Amino acid sequence: MAFDKNMVIFFLIFMAFCRGVSMAAVYQVGDSAGWTSVGQVDYQEWAASKNFHVGDTLVFNYNSQFHNVKQVTQQAFEACNATSPIATYTNGYDTVTLEKLGHFYFICGYPGHCQAGQQIDILVSSPTSSLSPSPSTDQTTEPSAASSLYFSYNVCWTLGVLLAFCLSGFAY
Ligand SMILES: *[C@@H]1O[C@H](CO)[C@@H](O)[C@H](O)[C@H]1NC(C)=O
Ligand SMILES: [Cu+2]
């Protein structure tokens, strides 16, 4: 098939569109359990089951009498040291937008909570890398914001490819 200029333009527009669709993800940390030190939530496991991208939002839902959220450096994260955080959130329903690639470290600043497991390492990766892991690993998780967005991203692309082939069919 000849390389059609219109098709290239079409794909670029669709790429931007699909990217926009995939960027709206909002994740409540710990899902229904929220941000807690007593619910036996494995936050590393929770984080590992998601694909975080730039523009996604985290929601920390917790009782502000007993918990808070401190964004910290990697060193402070590993030491559970909340004395000089990058940012502090105390509302009980805090939204944090992941504005760049890389790690975001959060711990609870209340004594003993981080040590008890109330800590999370969020790795924000680039959108293209989300397409490389096999879909089967994603679909083993319960339907959540992550898998539904992954789904819509794929549907978006499938539609784009189908439309492109239809259009090229008309052109020749
Ligand atoms: C925690 O971090 C602060 C500032 O980075 C440092 O001064 C302090 O010694 C640390 N505390 C512990 C227990 O490591
Ligand atoms: Cu806490």
Ligand nearest to the CA of 35: 2
Judgement on whether residues 61 and 116 belong to the same structural domain of the protein: yes
User: 114 C-alpha to center of ligand 2: Å?
Assistant: 7
Judgement on whether residues 104 and 161 belong to the same structural domain of the protein: no
Any domain includes 132 = no
Residues 6+ apart with CB under 8 A from 79: none
CATH of the domain at 44: 2.60.40.420
User: 89 C-alpha to center of ligand 1: Å?
Assistant: 20
Judgement on whether residues 61 and 31 belong to the same structural domain of the protein: yes
The closest residue, in CA terms, to atom 12 on ligand 1 is 81
Judgement on whether residues 99 and 152 belong to the same structural domain of the protein: no
Ligand 1 proximity of 83 Cβ (cutoff 6 Å): yes
Judgement on whether residues 150 and 105 belong to the same structural domain of the protein: no
- Mean pLDDT computed over 32-52: 94
Ligand 1 proximity of 79 Cβ (cutoff 6 Å): yes
CA gap 80, 151 in Å, rounded: 36
Sheet holding 69-72, edge to edge: 52-53, 119-125, 102-107, 69-72, 87-89
Convert the pLDDT of each residue in 65-95 to its tens digit: 999 999 999 999 999 999 999 999 999 999 9
User: 81 C-alpha to center of ligand 1: Å?
Assistant: 6
The confidence band for 150, taking pLDDT boundaries of 50, 70 and 90, is low
Structure tokens at 57: 């939002």
Structure tokens at 98: 């992941």
Convert the pLDDT of each residue in 101-145 to its tens digit: 999 999 999 999 999 999 999 999 986 644 544 443 333 333 444
Ligand 1 proximity of 81 Cβ (cutoff 6 Å): yes
Structure tokens at 64: 């502000």
Residues 6+ apart with CB under 8 A from 95: 26, 57, 58, 59, 60
CA gap 148, 139 in Å, rounded: 9
Residue with token string 């523009």: 55
Ligand nearest to the CA of 41: 2
Ligand 1 proximity of 24 Cβ (cutoff 6 Å): no
Judgement on whether residues 19 and 31 belong to the same structural domain of the protein: no
The closest residue, in CA terms, to atom 7 on ligand 1 is 83
CA gap 110, 129 in Å, rounded: 35
Q: Would the pTM count as exceeding 0.75?
A: no
Strand segments (E) across the chain = 26-28, 52-53, 57-61, 69-72, 87-89, 93-97, 102-107, 119-125
User: 96 C-alpha to center of ligand 1: Å?
Assistant: 25
Q: Which domain holds residue 119?
A: 25-126
Judgement on whether residues 36 and 105 belong to the same structural domain of the protein: yes
Convert the pLDDT of each residue in 3-22 to its tens digit: 566 665 555 555 666 666 65
46-65 burial, b if ≥16 CB within 10 A, otherwise e? Answer: bbebbbbbebbbbebbbeee
